[in-house]
Structure 1
Amino acid sequence: MPLPVIIDVEASGFGNGSYPIEVGYFTPDGNSYCSLIQPEPGWTHWDPSAEQVHGISREVLLAKGRPGVEVCLDLNTALRGQTIYCDAWAYDYVWLSKLYDAVELFPTYHLKDLRELLAECEQSLWHGLRSEVEKRLALRRHRASGDARTIFETYNEARKRCKPDWIV
């Protein structure tokens, strides 16, 4: 199976009223995409604990975020017809749906949970490998595209370590 495209979403918080503030992906050929998203009218929830995780202030988001319709069109163009994976499907699906609903568009790609690809061996190695990958990559900011790359590299490393000896 070919390596997957990984997507990640940063959000204003973790509960009711939260919304996407940044989306990023990483592809097997090393390409990445990342964009801040302007909050839609009515998207006012802001959780300071989430801001401490992603490091994006609401002020930066309002000043540098791109309109949601542009972000959705970017994603639809780049990811059309593909199956894309994320590591927090229950959250990422909701946040991407909220974004697409707000701009009255539909994704042209399919979003799936990365756990669907993980065998038992890969699952057992996941947390330790992720820590190793985070140290190796030494990304200085917790951002969507960086997280997508970390998830991708962790998956790739787990897959290599769990590959049966008879597969060349």
Structure 2
Amino acid sequence: MYPKFIDVEASSLDGFPLQIAYGSREGEIVSHLIRPFDSWLREENRWSPQAFKLHGLSIDLLLEAGSDPHEIAFRIEDDLWGETVYSDAADYDHTWINILFSKVSVESGTHLVMPCIREMNEILPRSWSPDGRRTVRDRIRLQAEKEGLRIHHADADVLVHVRTWQEMQKL
């Protein structure tokens, strides 16, 4: 059994969430493309061309293939209730999930409970320097790309987190 990891792709650093992926109780990766709320699309400066170059998730794709944000928020709450999940960018991922949960809570009249999101480095061996951990993660990212996974897609990034943690346990 491994720790649960989470990753969020967003429209910009101060934008809205586009895709969320995390490890399920069954050890599988659950991934959601989020259909943006109309109000998010009307806000200026919430879409970054630089972020788009990284993740490649277009507004058209999200509108066509994205799922209802209410369903996603309730599913995340159900799947991760009381769980601690780990991220390589916990502050950002927390902020983006909070944006989703806050909007859904207001619209649905219910209070959603956020999972506890912690920094991934907290569970990697302390005997390894940050540079050593980064080297392992970079090697695993390259392998994932060779396998055809798109880095900076939340599901691929969660898989890289899992593999990084597994590799670090062997060392």
TM-score by length of 1: 0.84
Counterpart secondary structure, 1:43: helix
1:111 CA displacement = 1.7
CA distance in 2, matches of 1:156, 1:62: 36
Q: Percent identity?
A: 28
Q: Is it true that 1:109 corresponds to 2:108 in the alignment?
A: no
What does 1:1-168 align with in structure 2 at a 5 Å threshold?
A: 3-15=2-14, 18-27=15-24, 30-44=27-41, 45-104=46-105, 105-107=111-113, 109-122=115-128, 123-137=130-144, 138-142=147-151, 143-161=153-171
- Counterpart amino acid of 1:130? R
Aligned length in residues: 158
1:159 CA displacement = 2.5
1:140 CA displacement = 2.9
Gaps of 5+ in 2: 106-110
Report the RMSD for the aligned CA atoms in angstroms.
1.9
CA distance in 2, matches of 1:53, 1:31: 24
1:54 CA displacement = 0.6
- Do the aligned partners of residues 99 and 38 (structure 1) sit closer, same or farther apart at CA in structure 2, a change above 3 Å counting? same
